[in-house]
């Protein structure tokens, strides 16, 4: 038994040691990559914590799809776009933002539809990028989340290995716009993609996998916790190209999400259809609109938020 356990420990241990070693190597993700924008966003959240703000929470559908200066101008209060990458998983995103929520904040969560299906809610390889830039978030990783992330770890290790090789050979590729830390504006949105051309072909996007009830449960928990702090939480919908939105199976998946959110008694802003625009307004993803789509969506969100806020004001008067 002793020799057997020694062999197993040696085999597993050598893998584990290699993973740790690779994880300790610098460079993955690149210091100029968009993942490091979280530092600037956290800084912005700290700086503005003494006044009520609008906090936009979600994945890149927000950073590419909302123009916060416009919202700020219309609503007359600071708007902070906290979003970076949906691949972190909605749980990670909500856990990351929760400590920054203060009394009077208006929090608008706009999860990607994929967060409600399969295991993206728990995270993906991108979560490791998030953990590298914000190591303190490791304390929020739960057992189930760790299990899901463990499945993705080999891919992460491979990426670490590639980075390690590139560092040794001095060939680390520089991240390009719009996936850079300096692509974000002062509010945390990306504008760098407005002038990028050559993205005229979008592959079809499919919402795959089984429905994951954990997403709604966790959202509900998040709403309760934020409201306990005195914040107002709204759930809205991502912008999603008409081509993908119109797909029969996707439509059924999105309808299911809407029904569940509606039944869950969340405060909803708009409908999924309201934020879906023609394919020509999107560039490298069905969640990433060009400038025109970004501005259209922003205007609709402002309108929906205003209606919701005035409804609240009216009910308070009554």
Going by C-alpha positions, the residue among 55, 109, 107 that lies closest to residue 82 is 55
Residue 213 lies near another protein (rule: CB under 8 A): no
Q: Determine the interface stretch with another protein among 24-32, 66-74, 153-161, 212-220 (rule: CB under 8 A).
A: 153-161
Q: Determine the interface stretch with another protein among 2-10, 182-190, 241-249, 304-312 (rule: CB under 8 A).
A: 2-10
Residue 17 lies near another protein (rule: CB under 8 A): no
**Least distance to another protein from the beta carbon of 310, Å?**
47
Cα–Cα distances in Å, from 126 out to 94, 204, 228? Answer: 15, 22, 30
Q: Looking at 51, 147, 176, 310, which residue binds another protein (CB under 8 A)?
A: 147
**Residues in binding contact with another protein, number by CB under 8 A:** 15
Residue 150 lies near another protein (rule: CB under 8 A): yes
Residue 21 lies near another protein (rule: CB under 8 A): no
Residue 4 lies near another protein (rule: CB under 8 A): yes
* Distance from C-alpha of 176 to C-alpha of 34, rounded to nearest angstrom: 10
Residue 11 lies near another protein (rule: CB under 8 A): yes
Q: Looking at 158, 221, 224, 229, which residue binds another protein (CB under 8 A)?
A: 158
By residue count, the chain amounts to 318
Residue 8 lies near another protein (rule: CB under 8 A): yes
Per-residue tokens: 289:
């609109």
Query: Is there a contact between 26 and 167 (Cβ–Cβ < 8 Å)?
Result: yes
Residue with smaller CB distance to another protein, 209 or 278: 209
Q: Determine the interface stretch with another protein among 130-138, 143-151, 263-271, 305-313 (rule: CB under 8 A).
A: 143-151
**Least distance to another protein from the beta carbon of 241, Å?**
24
Residue with smaller CB distance to another protein, 3 or 171: 3
Q: Looking at 51, 155, 307, 310, which residue binds another protein (CB under 8 A)?
A: 155
* Distance from C-alpha of 125 to C-alpha of 139, rounded to nearest angstrom: 18
Applying CB under 8 A, the residues found at the interface with another protein are: 1, 3-4, 7-8, 11, 15, 147-148, 150-151, 154-155, 157-158
């Amino acid at each position: 038994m002793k020799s057997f356990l020694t062999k197993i420990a040696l085999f597993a241990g050598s893998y584990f040691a290699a993973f740790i070693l690779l994880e300790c190597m610098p460079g993955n993700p690149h210091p100029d990559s968009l993942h490091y924008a979280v530092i600037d966003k956290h800084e912005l959240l700290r700086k503005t914590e003494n006044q009520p703000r609008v906090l936009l929470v979600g994945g890149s559908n927000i950073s590419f799809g909302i123009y916060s200066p416009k919202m700020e101008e219309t609503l007359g209060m600071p708007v902070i776009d906290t979003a970076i990458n949906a691949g972190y998983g909605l749980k990670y995103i909500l856990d990351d933002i929760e400590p920054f929520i203060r009394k009077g904040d208006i929090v608008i969560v706009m999860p990607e539809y994929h967060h409600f299906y399969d295991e993206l809610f728990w995270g993906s390889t991108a979560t490791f990028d998030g953990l590298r830039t914000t190591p303190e978030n490791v304390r929020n990783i739960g057992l189930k989340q760790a299990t899901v992330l463990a499945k993705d770890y080999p891919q992460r290790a491979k990426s670490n290995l590639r980075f390690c090789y590139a560092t040794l050979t001095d060939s680390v590729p520089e991240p390009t716009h719009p996936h850079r830390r300096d692509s974000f504006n002062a509010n945390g949105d990306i504008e760098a993609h407005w002038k990028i051309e050559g993205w005229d072909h979008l592959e079809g996007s499919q919402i795959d996998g089984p429905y994951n009830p954990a997403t709604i449960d966790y959202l509900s928990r998040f709403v309760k916790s934020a409201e306990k702090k005195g914040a107002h939480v709204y759930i809205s919908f991502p912008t999603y190209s008409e081509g993908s939105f119109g797909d029969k199976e996707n439509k059924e998946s999105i309808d299911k999400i809407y029904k569940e959110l509606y039944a869950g008694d969340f405060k909803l802003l708009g409908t999924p259809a309201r934020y879906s625009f023609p394919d020509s307004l999107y560039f490298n993803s069905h969640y990433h609109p060009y400038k025109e789509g970004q501005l259209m969506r922003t205007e609709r969100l402002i309108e929906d938020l205003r209606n919701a806020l005035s409804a609240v004001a009216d009910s308070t008067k009554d």
